[in-house]
Structure formats: structure tokens, C-alpha cells
Amino acid sequence: MANKFNALLDSIASGALSPKGNLGDWQHASRLFVDNNMRLAPRSKFNYHVKFDVTPEGKSLIPKLLDTGPLNEIGMLVKAADLPSYQANVEQKKKYNRIKNVQTGIQYNPVNITFHDDNQGITTAFLQAYYRYYFADGNQRINGGRAYSVKPHNTYENVIANNYKYGMDVNNPGVPFFKAIHISTMARGEYVTFTLVNPIITQWSHDNLSNADGAGVLENKIEVAYEAVFYESGAVKIGANGDPAGFGQDHYDRTPSPLSLAGGGGGGLAGAIDGAFSLYDFIASGDVYENP
């Protein structure tokens, strides 16, 4: 019994003299990911913002729908988006049996974007506007919901019948539909924006329907090709002149969380932890962000 008691005293003494004690753990991950306000922690996939810049000519197809507000809403209805990826063209050359890899170009891989198909149908109308902008087929109409205004065989019909155009025989004003598409990731009060330069949609699709799927929701999908990528970073700001552009303008809750001091909370354990999460503080804190 005395030996066990002496062993316990020795353990306590060695633990008191050791910086970690007997049960101390290694803190490599904590030092890497938690220190300095989680500076090196991995970014969250769900914390992003998408902005579609549409030319005035593109907006003119459905101007009431594609004002600034609905365009911001379309970006907020992005369910998932790829960040850009690249592939370098590399040729292997030989000089006296010495191998040299030479870059000869770059390929920009397409970006896939998935939208929620909302009840108002603004993401569907968004794709409809693009369809009508580049392809005359989408400009045909149904008269009063009863009959098509287009005739299937009008090659040798009269002049009026030949007004119905098909394919790319459309009165395009000569400017693209998109100015750019901006995809931003956000963390710790800062954003990184990937701007897709001269984007065009190479493929778009609506979802499938099924009586057997009682829990599914509809989606719209597009595949986007682009010619280059611009990078930009900075401090997140909310409001009319926010950064990234369009962030925090529509449907944004600026009410302080009840867990925060600004919302009347007492702090408690969360208040004692450096960098405790509060959505309002996370976005609108004057230390990192600028209030509108």
C-alpha cells in the first residue's frame, strides 16, 4: 500500500514539474489551425457569394426580372459552384538526351454552377433570357396559350411567314450577355474573389420530375467556359457599396445574435473564447468590417 501511495506522490510531483503533466497531449494541430484567430484553418465550403454581371443588352430581354435586386437574388440562389481550375499544355523536349518540359499554353476547365429552381422562377427566367439572347428559337411565342406563332415549314411561304427565325439568326447587338461572373469565398472577415473573364454558357439544363420523389427539390444547372481568371481579395463590407460586390444588400439579417453582447447575451463560455462565433459580429464587426 505504501508503495502505491509513494508512486502516486511521485506521479503528482513529476506532473507538477512537467509543463504538460502526465496527461498532456500534443498541440501541433491547435498551434497550426487555432492560433492567430484561426489564420491557417481550412475555409468552409458553405461560406461563399456569387455575383452575375449581365450587360444592359442582356437585361433588356426581361428588364423587370433582371434589375439589380433580382440579379443579387440569383447569385444567392446558387446551390453549388465550382472554383476555376486550369491545365497547362506541356511539351517534353530533348537536347542531347537532356529532358526539358516546356509550357506552351493553358486550358481553362469549365465551371459548373447549380441553382435552386425557386417558386417564382427567376433562375429559370435567367436561363431563358440567355437562351433568347443567342438563339432565335427561344423567341418564338404561343398565342394566347392555344397555338404556336411559328410555322414548321416556311421556307417557301410568304414574307410574313419568313419572319420566324431559327438557330443563331437572331438580332444580337454584338456584345456578350455576361460581363463577368464573380465567385467569392469568405473567412475571418476577408474574401477571395475569382472573376471569370468573358464567360459563356456551354451547357444548361433543367431538372427531372418524378412522382416517386417526395423529398427532392428542383435545380437548374449551367456549365460555363471562360477565357481567363482575375484574382481579388480584401475585407468584407456589407451594404450598397459592399465587398465583394452585391454581398449583404438583399435579405440580409443584421440583427445581433442573442448570444452576443450586442444582442443582450451575457457572454458566458462563448464570450470567454477568443473568436467565438456570432453571425452578426462575424459580418459587421467594426474591427474587421465596415458597417454600411
Alpha helix (H) ranges present in the chain? 2-17, 28-33, 35-38, 56-59, 68-76, 122-134, 268-272, 279-284
Spell out the domain ranges in the chain: 1-42, 44-135+170-250, 253-292
DSSP, collapsed to helix, strand or coil, labels residue 192 as strand
Residue 180: the pLDDT is 95
pLDDT at 136: 80
Q: Give the pLDDT mean for 210-219.
A: 92
pLDDT in the model for residue 249: 77
Over residues 231-237, mean pLDDT = 90
Give the pLDDT band (50/70/90) at residue 287: very low
**Does domain 44-135+170-250 correspond to CATH entry 2.30.110?**
yes
DSSP 3-state of 284: helix
Cβ neighbour number for residue 43 with a 10 Å cutoff: 12
Residue 228 and residue 84: Cα distance in Å, rounded?
10
